[in-house]
Amino acid sequence: MALTLVLGNKNYSSWSLRPYLALAHHKVPFEEIVIPLYEGDYKRAILQHSPAGKVPVLVDGEIAVWESLAILDYLAEKFPKLALWPADVAARAHARAISAEMHAGFAALRQACPMNLKRVPRPIVLPPAATADVARITQIWNDTRARFGKGGHFLFGDFSAADCMYAPMATRIRSYSVPVDLVASAYVDAIHALPAFIAWREAGLKEPWTMQYDQL
Protein backbone atom coordinates (compact mmCIF):
# COMPACT_ATOMS: atom_id res chain seq x y z
CA MET A 1 0.00 0.00 0.00
CA ALA A 2 1.37 3.41 -1.00
CA LEU A 3 2.03 6.07 1.56
CA THR A 4 -0.34 9.03 1.63
CA LEU A 5 0.77 12.50 2.64
CA VAL A 6 -1.96 14.90 3.71
CA LEU A 7 -0.82 18.46 3.00
CA GLY A 8 -1.92 22.04 3.26
CA ASN A 9 -1.62 24.53 0.40
CA LYS A 10 1.83 24.23 -1.10
CA ASN A 11 2.16 27.99 -1.40
CA TYR A 12 1.71 28.50 2.33
CA SER A 13 2.14 25.32 4.36
CA SER A 14 5.72 25.34 5.61
CA TRP A 15 5.11 22.34 7.85
CA SER A 16 3.81 20.28 4.92
CA LEU A 17 6.86 21.07 2.80
CA ARG A 18 9.18 19.23 5.18
CA PRO A 19 8.05 15.59 4.81
CA TYR A 20 7.23 16.18 1.15
CA LEU A 21 10.87 17.00 0.46
CA ALA A 22 12.06 13.88 2.28
CA LEU A 23 9.82 11.68 0.15
CA ALA A 24 10.10 13.48 -3.17
CA HIS A 25 13.87 13.98 -3.04
CA HIS A 26 14.39 10.26 -2.48
CA LYS A 27 11.69 9.32 -4.99
CA VAL A 28 9.67 7.32 -2.47
CA PRO A 29 6.24 6.64 -4.02
CA PHE A 30 3.39 8.39 -2.23
CA GLU A 31 -0.03 9.85 -2.88
CA GLU A 32 -1.02 13.39 -1.97
CA ILE A 33 -4.15 14.83 -0.45
CA VAL A 34 -4.02 18.65 -0.50
CA ILE A 35 -6.43 20.41 1.88
CA PRO A 36 -6.53 24.19 1.37
CA LEU A 37 -6.09 25.78 4.77
CA TYR A 38 -8.76 28.19 6.03
CA GLU A 39 -11.03 27.27 3.11
CA GLY A 40 -14.51 25.98 3.95
CA ASP A 41 -14.66 23.19 6.51
CA TYR A 42 -10.95 22.47 6.22
CA LYS A 43 -10.58 21.46 9.87
CA ARG A 44 -13.08 18.64 9.53
CA ALA A 45 -11.29 17.42 6.42
CA ILE A 46 -7.98 17.27 8.31
CA LEU A 47 -9.59 15.56 11.31
CA GLN A 48 -10.50 12.66 9.05
CA HIS A 49 -6.77 11.90 8.92
CA SER A 50 -5.35 13.21 12.21
CA PRO A 51 -6.73 13.76 15.72
CA ALA A 52 -4.55 16.86 16.00
CA GLY A 53 -6.48 18.60 13.24
CA LYS A 54 -3.29 19.89 11.63
CA VAL A 55 -1.22 19.11 8.56
CA PRO A 56 0.93 17.38 7.54
CA VAL A 57 -0.15 13.83 8.22
CA LEU A 58 1.52 10.71 6.87
CA VAL A 59 -0.79 7.72 6.47
CA ASP A 60 0.82 4.30 6.12
CA GLY A 61 -1.95 1.70 6.14
CA GLU A 62 -3.40 1.73 9.65
CA ILE A 63 -0.66 4.04 10.92
CA ALA A 64 -1.12 7.82 10.96
CA VAL A 65 1.79 10.07 11.93
CA TRP A 66 1.38 13.80 12.39
CA GLU A 67 3.88 16.58 13.13
CA SER A 68 6.68 17.14 10.61
CA LEU A 69 9.55 16.00 12.80
CA ALA A 70 7.74 12.82 13.87
CA ILE A 71 7.03 12.02 10.22
CA LEU A 72 10.70 12.46 9.33
CA ASP A 73 11.68 10.11 12.16
CA TYR A 74 9.12 7.56 11.00
CA LEU A 75 10.44 7.72 7.44
CA ALA A 76 14.02 7.37 8.69
CA GLU A 77 13.05 4.16 10.50
CA LYS A 78 10.92 2.78 7.67
CA PHE A 79 13.53 3.53 5.00
CA PRO A 80 16.93 3.35 6.71
CA LYS A 81 18.78 3.23 3.38
CA LEU A 82 17.67 6.80 2.68
CA ALA A 83 19.99 8.00 5.47
CA LEU A 84 17.68 10.86 6.40
CA TRP A 85 19.80 11.43 9.51
CA PRO A 86 23.62 11.53 9.27
CA ALA A 87 25.40 8.25 10.00
CA ASP A 88 28.09 9.81 12.19
CA VAL A 89 27.04 9.94 15.84
CA ALA A 90 28.18 13.52 16.44
CA ALA A 91 26.65 14.77 13.21
CA ARG A 92 23.39 12.93 13.88
CA ALA A 93 23.14 14.39 17.40
CA HIS A 94 23.74 17.87 15.99
CA ALA A 95 21.15 17.31 13.24
CA ARG A 96 18.52 16.23 15.74
CA ALA A 97 19.28 19.15 18.05
CA ILE A 98 19.01 21.84 15.37
CA SER A 99 15.91 20.17 13.90
CA ALA A 100 14.21 20.18 17.29
CA GLU A 101 15.21 23.82 17.75
CA MET A 102 13.63 24.61 14.40
CA HIS A 103 10.47 22.70 15.28
CA ALA A 104 9.99 24.50 18.59
CA GLY A 105 11.42 27.95 17.90
CA PHE A 106 11.66 31.05 15.75
CA ALA A 107 8.05 32.09 16.29
CA ALA A 108 8.83 35.77 15.74
CA LEU A 109 10.22 35.18 12.26
CA ARG A 110 7.39 32.81 11.37
CA GLN A 111 4.86 35.47 12.33
CA ALA A 112 6.64 38.36 10.64
CA CYS A 113 7.38 36.43 7.43
CA PRO A 114 4.74 33.76 6.70
CA MET A 115 5.75 31.34 3.98
CA ASN A 116 4.38 32.62 0.68
CA LEU A 117 6.04 31.33 -2.47
CA LYS A 118 3.98 33.63 -4.71
CA ARG A 119 5.22 36.76 -2.98
CA VAL A 120 7.29 39.09 -5.15
CA PRO A 121 10.54 39.23 -3.13
CA ARG A 122 10.84 42.50 -1.28
CA PRO A 123 12.00 43.47 2.20
CA ILE A 124 9.96 44.42 5.22
CA VAL A 125 11.02 45.97 8.50
CA LEU A 126 11.57 43.05 10.85
CA PRO A 127 10.80 43.41 14.55
CA PRO A 128 13.81 42.90 16.84
CA ALA A 129 12.74 39.39 17.86
CA ALA A 130 12.53 38.30 14.22
CA THR A 131 15.94 39.83 13.51
CA ALA A 132 17.31 37.81 16.41
CA ASP A 133 15.75 34.68 14.89
CA VAL A 134 17.50 35.37 11.58
CA ALA A 135 20.81 35.77 13.40
CA ARG A 136 20.38 32.45 15.21
CA ILE A 137 19.30 30.59 12.07
CA THR A 138 22.24 31.86 10.03
CA GLN A 139 24.55 31.01 12.93
CA ILE A 140 23.22 27.45 12.84
CA TRP A 141 23.71 27.25 9.08
CA ASN A 142 27.25 28.61 9.24
CA ASP A 143 28.29 26.40 12.14
CA THR A 144 26.77 23.25 10.71
CA ARG A 145 28.18 23.80 7.23
CA ALA A 146 31.65 24.44 8.68
CA ARG A 147 31.61 21.37 10.93
CA PHE A 148 29.70 18.83 8.89
CA GLY A 149 28.91 20.19 5.43
CA LYS A 150 32.00 19.27 3.43
CA GLY A 151 31.29 17.35 0.26
CA GLY A 152 27.91 18.84 -0.56
CA HIS A 153 25.76 21.95 -0.63
CA PHE A 154 23.50 21.12 2.30
CA LEU A 155 23.86 21.38 6.06
CA PHE A 156 25.50 17.97 6.40
CA GLY A 157 26.82 17.76 2.86
CA ASP A 158 24.15 15.43 1.52
CA PHE A 159 20.49 16.40 1.80
CA SER A 160 19.07 15.31 5.16
CA ALA A 161 16.09 15.60 7.47
CA ALA A 162 17.66 18.75 8.92
CA ASP A 163 17.44 20.38 5.50
CA CYS A 164 13.78 19.39 5.32
CA MET A 165 13.26 21.21 8.61
CA TYR A 166 15.06 24.39 7.52
CA ALA A 167 13.84 24.58 3.92
CA PRO A 168 10.82 26.77 4.80
CA MET A 169 13.16 29.28 6.44
CA ALA A 170 15.15 29.42 3.21
CA THR A 171 11.95 30.42 1.39
CA ARG A 172 11.29 33.19 3.93
CA ILE A 173 14.80 34.56 3.50
CA ARG A 174 14.21 34.85 -0.24
CA SER A 175 10.56 35.95 -0.24
CA TYR A 176 11.22 38.79 2.19
CA SER A 177 14.68 39.70 0.84
CA VAL A 178 16.23 39.20 4.26
CA PRO A 179 19.94 40.11 4.13
CA VAL A 180 22.17 37.21 5.13
CA ASP A 181 25.86 36.30 4.82
CA LEU A 182 27.39 34.42 1.89
CA VAL A 183 27.21 30.97 3.51
CA ALA A 184 23.54 31.39 4.35
CA SER A 185 22.80 32.84 0.91
CA ALA A 186 24.45 29.85 -0.79
CA TYR A 187 22.39 27.52 1.36
CA VAL A 188 19.18 29.32 0.39
CA ASP A 189 20.20 28.89 -3.26
CA ALA A 190 20.85 25.17 -2.72
CA ILE A 191 17.37 24.62 -1.28
CA HIS A 192 15.72 26.51 -4.13
CA ALA A 193 17.70 24.51 -6.71
CA LEU A 194 16.66 21.14 -5.27
CA PRO A 195 14.45 19.39 -7.87
CA ALA A 196 11.96 18.27 -5.21
CA PHE A 197 11.60 21.84 -4.02
CA ILE A 198 11.24 23.14 -7.56
CA ALA A 199 8.36 20.69 -8.12
CA TRP A 200 6.71 21.80 -4.88
CA ARG A 201 7.08 25.49 -5.74
CA GLU A 202 5.74 25.07 -9.27
CA ALA A 203 2.65 23.31 -7.89
CA GLY A 204 2.22 26.02 -5.26
CA LEU A 205 2.36 28.81 -7.83
CA LYS A 206 -0.54 27.20 -9.70
CA GLU A 207 -2.82 27.04 -6.66
CA PRO A 208 -5.88 29.36 -6.79
CA TRP A 209 -6.15 30.00 -3.06
CA THR A 210 -4.97 33.20 -1.41
CA MET A 211 -4.69 34.41 2.17
CA GLN A 212 -5.03 37.86 3.65
CA TYR A 213 -1.34 38.33 4.31
CA ASP A 214 -0.62 38.11 0.57
CA GLN A 215 -1.06 41.87 0.52
CA LEU A 216 1.80 42.55 2.96
DSSP assignments along 177-203, one per residue: T----HHHHHHHHHHHH-HHHHHHHHH
CATH class of 89-199: mainly alpha
Residue spans of the chain under pLDDT 70: 1, 212-216
Give first-to-last CA distance, the chain, whole Å. Answer: 43
The pLDDT value given to residue 213: 59
The pLDDT value given to residue 41: 86
The pLDDT value given to residue 215: 52
The amino acid at 150:
K
The amino acid at 162:
A
**Cis preceding linkage at 56, omega within 30:** yes
Query: pLDDT digit string (tens) for 152-186?
Result: 999 999 999 999 999 999 999 999 999 999 999 99
The amino acid at 91:
A
Write down the domain spans for the chain. Answer: 3-82, 89-199
Q: What is the pTM of this model?
A: 0.95
Cα(73)–Cα(99) distance, integer angstroms: 11
Nearest to 196 by CA among 8, 22, 3: 22
Give domain 3-82's CATH superfamily.
Glutaredoxin (3.40.30.10)
The pLDDT value given to residue 121: 96
The pLDDT value given to residue 51: 86
Cα(139)–Cα(22) distance, integer angstroms: 24
